Amino acid sequence: MSLDLPMSEQPLYWPVQRRRSRGLWPLFCVVAAFLAAYAYLFPGLLSIGGLSKFTQSWFPLALVSMAQAILMLTGGISLAIGATVSLGAVIAATTMAGPLGVSGGMALVAAAGLGIGAVCGLIVVRLRLPAIIVTLAGSFIIGGAALLILPRPGGQIPGWFSDLLAGDTPVAALLLALVALVWKFYLATPLGLSLYAAGENPVAAYRSGVPVDAARIAAYAISGLLSTGAGLYVAAQTGSGDPVIGQAFTLNSIAAAVLGGVGFLGGRGTMRGALAGSLLLSLMINVMFFLGLPPVAQYVAQGLIIIGAVALPQINARGRQA
Amino acid sequence: MSDAAASSPLARRAISVLRSGPFLTVLIVVAVWIAAGLTLAGFGSYGHLRYILELAAVIGLVAAGQTLVIIGGGIDLSVGAILTVTAVGVPLLAWDADTSGGIAVVAMLAVAAGIGFLNGLGIALLRVHPMIMTLAMATFLQGVLIIVAGGSAVSMHNPVVAWLGDARPFGVPAGILLWVVVSAATLFVLHRTPFGARVFALGANPLATSLSGVDVNVTTMAIYAASGLTAGLAGVLMLGMNGQGYVGIGDPYVLSSIAAVVLGGTSILGGSGTYAGSIPGSALLVTITALITVVNASAGWRSILFGSLILGLLLLSGREAKSR
Amino acid sequence: MSAPIIAARNVSKSFFGNRVLRDVSIELRPGRIHALLGENGAGKSTLINLLSGALRPDGGKLEVDGVAVDRLTPPGARSAGVAVVQQELSLTSQLSIGENIGLGAYPRRFGFIDYKALARRARAVCAMVGLDEDIATPVGDLPLGRRQMVEIAKALYREPRALILDEPTSSLSAHETRALTQLLARLREQGVAILYISHRLNEVMALCEHVTILKDGAVTADRELAGVSADGLVRLMVGRDPGDLFPPWEPNAGGSTIVSVKGFSSGMAREIDIDLRRGEVFGVGGLIGQGQEDLILGLYGAQTASAREAEFNGAAGVPGSVLKANGLGLAYVPADRKREGLHLIHPISFNMLLPGLARAHALGARDRAAERDLSRSLAGRLAIKGDLARPVQALSGGNQQKVALAKWMPSAPSVWLLNDPTRGVDVETKREIYGLLRRFAAEGAAVLISSSDTPELVHLCDRVAVMREGRIVARIERAALSEEAIVSAAMGANLPENVA
């Protein structure tokens, strides 16, 4: 209130960041509670090794949730996330052990992600076609391409690279921190912050001089990059490629983003929320696994939990209103 | 100023029909059939076209409910799982007293409609987004199906279902007749009843609809229940044509039904469209699939072709041009 | 005189063969506040869109600083120094005030947004418009009036040479309006060209020096404002005498009570006691956002409400749902007709028929002939012209509002609840709406109207309740009704009894 700084010297960036977390505290608390429960069930979590292993199981989901959240912020959506993850996985598994080597393979995976995303974005934005349909059709094309590259599970990721990413190291945690940091930087650029305006009110944003089309196409490209990146990581985890390994990520990415408070209509939500949502989902899956539920029952439980988790805030909100 | 011909109501109506999505889709289907019939041996034969229509009936049934849901501003991604539920459930539900098999069919259709009703309940009362609600429902059902049926196919010995799959009263396959009946009912409900008007209103502006006195919750539950029911009917027909049901039998119909609806000119954004477009849309999809099968490509290429063709048709029609 | 900063010369524009502007010329000169007046649908918005590059004229040309430009694009207009405060807010609710103000024109440093410079400049423009909120506040947290101020600050941030304001005061309080007026006077001193669009003639008279009036897409006046009376302006806009804007008021009291609530609370509205009688028009006044909307939505059953005692049309208790409210004879006409009242993509006739279809048997066959007759007769009664199969969004704002009213008429409601039904509506349509409301009352209905337009309450209503901070702070009977009484009660300065 009575700060000594002259008014024009008060900062803007950090207060804005703080306020953006507002409304997310209930979610953060739920996540913390689940973390505590998980740590109680599995005390091994509270070690470098345990944390590393857990981050590794969370990492791909975190990436695809970000991939989905970026699109949802611009008012789009992708039903091709799963197929793109698969494509990333098979590209990595078929190139990295070959003459291109690990770095060549990584470059290819990144180029594929950016390229696919940019093309999807161009079709949706420039040709004004509905994102749901374009990405649904796109999932067939991308999934088909994955099948062409690798018709059945196989390929190989060099052992040392697998160990580096998914072995007994906290690399996944570091990578996640890095991705989050890069996102922060991106959001501090005019193009990055345009996402919100382009998603909520594209016409008005365009009239204000916001590069709406560029922001949306860039979002699709980044989304593609994050998805193939997740695929690369999944391939490193298993040591090989599988052309349908990504399927479950489509639903889970949407669920995590929605759990994290990202809205479907554009301009609503935050990336930190989406990350928290993906962590929550990941914890639920892990807890179920440790409770010894059979894999099939996990499907059932997962369906119920997602509906419950999405519905609860609504019921709460209405309770408050009354 | 407009000329005299365009101002007469009849001429205007004729022009609007010629320009409409459904009519364009019919034109595309006919053009593809003629082209394929001339170039591919056997494609244009009566038997083959009848077979294509039989397959289209399955998509068309699923698309009937999907059309209602999409016009109402939602989307149903659980239709594939619901179709599987009836296709697997009817054989499992066989018991001796039910000699005709009719009770099993009716019971499973009630289950299918019930599942759809639950979708609507979650969407209307719990305010869960349709995409999340129906995807989660699909995940849930998939788990239940694997527990109940396991991984193997179940064969059926159900006279009613077998009749539906094989019989050809008046030379027309029973499945196609079923499709005709459901189509007529869907078109009537959408365009000739107050309920249909409420669905159009709901999809265009839910808030204004509710403030106009429409019971939005009941309408929402009804369209999802209808979607469950038509997906269930498609499951029964599929079972009749296949002779057995297995987990995963309905999976392709999620995309197919949505694509049929959108190719038929219904807006994915809700509020406008017609089932009259979804009918040729279904036929178009099956035709594409048949052509891809003829080409005899690998699974990967088939998938790529299918996706590209849908995308291409969408670009061609370009109807969803959103104003900005 | 210096050259106009931006000017249109004999521009024309048509949409789908419909002439919206014909040979219109306008000059925005530095240091002048220029009023643009006209009824809804007269072509004002189209003209603004031409001047800001959002649309291209079919004929005529645009000039910047006296030089003709081939093609004016939005970026071109911006770099020429033209800034527009649109009627429809263009803000992003999740971004902060500061981030919204700089949107599309952020100061940069190494490719990143320079938040320090942004904060400095945003605070400067906020101070100019009198916006004292923390600029880190998300815009979504602000009430409508404050958002409008952010919108104006956003335009000023671009340091415009020509500022176009489209109905800037429609959601501002009296206090905010005063601040804006002072600001505009200061900008005039600095040599900014200002184009001011408003339906509030007293504001225009007080503020502007020059006026251009559009009627049906053509200029009917382009002159100094000095020496023209408000009545004269209205005549130029509508081509008629304004004296008959309000229908003659006839005492109509003595009807039976149809709605009675005691201790009614809903949302912001707290502890409200109201009796509505048949045959009366009951006004609810006050500043914007004092709980009037919550009161109406609560009575209509559209949001949760409670009351110690309540009776609606003989039934005890609050309706609790829109369905029940409709069953009890209540009808609701919203302020935000596009969001709450209409289905823009659907035909005019569809919108008119919907409440009836909501009550009809769900799966019974619709009688197309009867529906057509009904919608035609409604359109006839309300003077809505043209093909009823057109989507409602093709209509002008005033005609849209008439459709939002017409849809309830077939069910002959016994209680009308109207929230600011004339917001953004042209004079001619206002007159028609006032006539309709009085007629509903004369036919035995009770009409409750909330309005931010004080003359409307004074001339139309039998009684007025004034709300402040969710409560009724004054009740004024017909005999004591005056603009001063309502305004002073709304401001909470003193009770109406003390007003001279």
Q: Please check whether residue B36 touches A, CB under 8 A.
A: no
Predicted pLDDT at A81: 94
- What is the torsional sign of CA C398, C404, C408, C410? positive
Nearest CA-CA distance, residue A191 and chain C, Å? 9
Which of A207, A270, A271, A318 has the most C C-beta neighbours within 10 Å, making it the best mutation to test the interface with C? Answer: A207
Got the DSSP string for C119-185? HHHHHHHHHHHT--S-TTSBGGGS-HHHHHHHHHHHHHHT--SEEEEESTTTT--HHHHHHHHHHHH
> What band does C243 get if pLDDT is binned at 50, 70 and 90?
low
In the DSSP assignment, the letter for residue B19 is H
Q: What average pLDDT does this structure show over A98-121?
A: 93
Looking at this protein, which amino acid is placed at residue B183?
S
Query: Do strands C210-215 and C33-38 pair parallel, antiparallel, or not at all (unpaired)?
Result: parallel
Predicted pLDDT at C495: 45
- Beta strand segments in C309-365, E: 309-312, 315-316, 330-333
Predicted pLDDT at A4: 42
Q: What average pLDDT does this structure show over A233-248?
A: 88
Conformation bin of residue C396: beta by default, left when phi > 0, alpha when psi is -120 to 50: beta
Given C354, C355, C366, which is nearest B193 (Cβ)? Answer: C366
In the DSSP assignment, the letter for residue A143 is H
Given C54, C96, C108, which is nearest A190 (Cβ)? Answer: C108
Query: Do strands C218-224 and C67-69 pair parallel, antiparallel, or not at all (unpaired)?
Result: unpaired
Chain-chain contact of A208 with C90 (C-beta, under 8 angstroms): yes
Q: Which of B315, B196, B324, B9 is nearest to C346 (CA)?
A: B196
Q: Which of C456, C29, C487 is nearest to C249 (CA)?
A: C456
At what angle are helices B159-166 and B102-124 packed, to 10 degrees?
A: 80
- What is the torsional sign of CA B240, B241, B243, B244? negative
Given B193, B194, B208, which is nearest C343 (Cβ)? Answer: B208
> What band does A68 get if pLDDT is binned at 50, 70 and 90?
very high
Q: What average pLDDT does this structure show over C41-61?
A: 86
**Does residue C490 sit in helix, strand or coil?**
helix
Given A132, A255, A299, which is nearest B142 (Cβ)? Answer: A299
Q: What is the pLDDT of residues B55-71, one digit of tens each?
A: 999 999 999 999 999 99
Residue A188, pLDDT above cutoff 50: yes
Give the number of other CB atoms < 10 A from CB of residue C314: 8
Q: Please check whether residue A6 touches C, CB under 8 A.
A: no
HSE-CB of B231 using CA atoms within 13 angstroms: 38
Touching A: B residues 274-293, CB under 8 Å: none
Residue A281, pLDDT above cutoff 60: yes
Q: What is the pLDDT of residues C328-374, one digit of tens each?
A: 999 999 988 888 999 999 999 999 999 999 988 888 889 999 999 99
A163-172, A260-269, B12-21: the lowest-pLDDT one: B12-21
Q: Please check whether residue B144 touches A, CB under 8 A.
A: yes
Average pLDDT, chain C: 86
Give the nearest chain B residue to C345 (CA atoms).
Answer: B204
Higher pLDDT, C352 or C387: C352
Q: What is the pLDDT of residues B131-169, one digit of tens each?
A: 888 988 988 898 888 888 877 788 888 888 888 888 888
Residues of chain A in contact with residue C118, where contact means CB-CB under 8 angstroms, are: 12
pTM for the full predicted model: 0.81
HSE-CB of A312 using CA atoms within 13 angstroms: 13
- C235: CB partners within 8 A, 6+ apart: C241, C242
From CA A76, how far away is CA B115, in angstroms rounded?
Answer: 28
Q: What is the pLDDT of residues C181-214, one digit of tens each?
A: 889 999 999 999 999 988 777 788 888 999 998 8
For residue C204, CA distances in Å to C34, C191, C389, C426 come to 9, 19, 38, 15
Q: Which of B315, B67, B293 is nearest to B190 (CA)?
A: B67
Q: What percent of chain A has pLDDT over 90?
A: 36
> What band does A78 get if pLDDT is binned at 50, 70 and 90?
very high
The answer to whether residues A233 and A150 touch, using CB atoms and an 8 Å cutoff, is: no
Q: What average pLDDT does this structure show over C410-426?
A: 88
Given A188, A209, A322, which is nearest C75 (Cβ)? Answer: A209
Q: Which of A110, A51, A45, A55 is nearest to A84 (CA)?
A: A110
Average pLDDT, chain B: 86
Q: If you search the block for the tokens 């349909």, which residue do you land on?
A: A133
Q: What average pLDDT does this structure show over B304-323?
A: 70
Residue B320, pLDDT above cutoff 80: no
Q: What is the pLDDT of residues A14-37, one digit of tens each?
A: 888 877 777 788 888 888 988 888
Higher pLDDT, C40 or C107: C107
> What band does B109 get if pLDDT is binned at 50, 70 and 90?
very high
Predicted pLDDT at B84: 95
Predicted pLDDT at C215: 81
From CA A29, how far away is CA A155, in angstroms rounded?
Answer: 42
Q: What is the pLDDT of residues B67-93, one digit of tens each?
A: 999 999 999 999 999 999 999 999 888
Given A8, A207, A322, which is nearest C123 (Cβ)? Answer: A8
Predicted ipTM? Answer: 0.84
Which of C45, C48, C92, C125 has the most A C-beta neighbours within 10 Å, making it the best mutation to test the interface with A? Answer: C92
Phi and psi at B108, nearest 5°, equal -70, -35
For residue C278, CA distances in Å to C325, C369, C414 come to 17, 34, 8
Chain-chain contact of C358 with B215 (C-beta, under 8 angstroms): yes
> What band does C254 get if pLDDT is binned at 50, 70 and 90?
low
**Does residue A174 sit in helix, strand or coil?**
helix
Chain-chain contact of B211 with C322 (C-beta, under 8 angstroms): yes
Burial label for A220, CB within 10 Å (0-12, 13-18, 19+), is buried
Which of B70, B82, B128 has the most A C-beta neighbours within 10 Å, making it the best mutation to test the interface with A? Answer: B128
Predicted pLDDT at C1: 55
Share of chain C residues as helix, strand and coil, in percent rounded to the nearest 5: 35, 25, 35
B19-33, B258-272, C330-344: the lowest-pLDDT one: B19-33
Q: What average pLDDT does this structure show over A293-320?
A: 69
From CA C391, how far away is CA C319, in angstroms rounded?
Answer: 32
Got the DSSP string for C353-388? HHHHHHHS-TTSPP-HHHHHHHHHHHHHHTT--S-T
The answer to whether residues C438 and C430 touch, using CB atoms and an 8 Å cutoff, is: no
Which of B71, B211, B216 has the most C C-beta neighbours within 10 Å, making it the best mutation to test the interface with C? Answer: B211
Predicted pLDDT at C174: 76
